[in-house]
Every structure is written in structure tokens, then in C-alpha cells.
Chains A and B, each alone.
Chain A
């Protein structure tokens, strides 16, 4: 069966510090991968998605970036965090067969920027 891992689970970072969140998927090949952010009391916002290694599409201009160095690894980064970057970051995957129907989410990383 497929599993998705995210770490760390929680993170407290000062403003201006760098960020690296990692997501890995097991049990599937060539998945579509996604980074979402869920701010407190708000809905889900798609940040990036990827259909393959090195292929990243950005949905929202911001100070965040994403990379996919391996088929089942997706990394979210920032060089300098802002207060507004606080939120619940979720990685998700879906079958990379042209079907975008079902997205399966990881446990999330709760980021607090102080």
C-alpha cells in the first residue's frame, strides 16, 4: 500500500530564517505531488504541484519554492521566512496516470514563524 511521510511534524522558526520541509511517498511510482497550505481558519491553498522529477508548477507567487529531486521526494523551501508563512503545510500525492481524481494527504507540518 501507499504511504506518504512529512517531516517535521511541527516547526517554530524566526522571521528571516530558511525553511526546508520534506515529503516522501512510498509504494507508488511516478506520482503527481502537491504542496498545499492551510492557514488558521481558512481553506486549502495549492502552492505547487509536480508531474515528474524536476517539473514544478507554481500556483501562487510567494517567497517559497519547491523541488523534486527524486521521483517520490518533494521539498518545500524558503530562503527567508515571513510571518505570513505560518500555517499548516500539507503534501499530497495522486496517481500519475492522467487521473487527478483522488489526492492523498500526508500528516502535515505545522509551521509557526515568530
Chain B
């Protein structure tokens, strides 16, 4: 699987949009971009995934650059409950294994 690079931490004001970047310059054509998050002492939570088109669901939006070498997860209106470690992963769709790196620790402040 391609490696991803994320900033180690970022702060966000409550009610504002949080934009989380991820670099995956070695991504191959059949690899998807996935985002998970893990709130302290809880299991990881699936957020969203995409291949090359931008995606949106009830939790977030995923913007993938045209060359697919980077992406941004957008939390449109961050709340205190969004404080968590966010993981960006790239993997092929049929790969059963998830592997998390260090992720980005997002702290939402009132």
C-alpha cells in the first residue's frame, strides 16, 4: 500500500470547518483513499472513502486532487466531539487489512 503523510496535530475552533490534509504521492491507480478517526479509548470509526471523485456524506467531505497525490478531509462544522486522531489510509479495494500510521490529532476548541 502507498504511504501517507499527515501533519501530527492541528487545532480547530468549534463551529468552523476543519480541513485535514493528506499526502499520498505514490498512490497507484487502483488504490482508494480512506479516512478513519479514533476518539480517545474508543474503536476507530469509518468516515469516508473515495477513488478519484470528491465524496460527501453526513460526516464529512473528501476532496481528492486531480493527480490523486493528495486529499483533504473536510469537517464542515467542527464540534467538541470531533476531537480525535484522524487517519488517512490508501489501499486497494479488495485488501482486507487496515493499517494506521500516526494520524493527525485534531483538537476542537470552544
Contacts and interface: CB of A to CB of B under 8 A. Distances in A.
Interface stretch (B5-13, B17-25, B67-75, B89-97): B89-97
Interface stretch (A13-21, A43-51, A63-71, A75-83): A43-51
A84 interface: no
Interface stretch (B58-66, B76-84, B99-107): B99-107
Q: Chain B interface residue count: which class?
A: 10 to 19
Contact of A100 (B46, B94, B102): B94
B46 to A, nearest CB: 5
Contact of B98 (A103, A107, A110): A103
Interface of B: 32, 34, 41-46, 49, 93-102
Interface residues of A, number: 23
B13 to A, nearest CB: 28
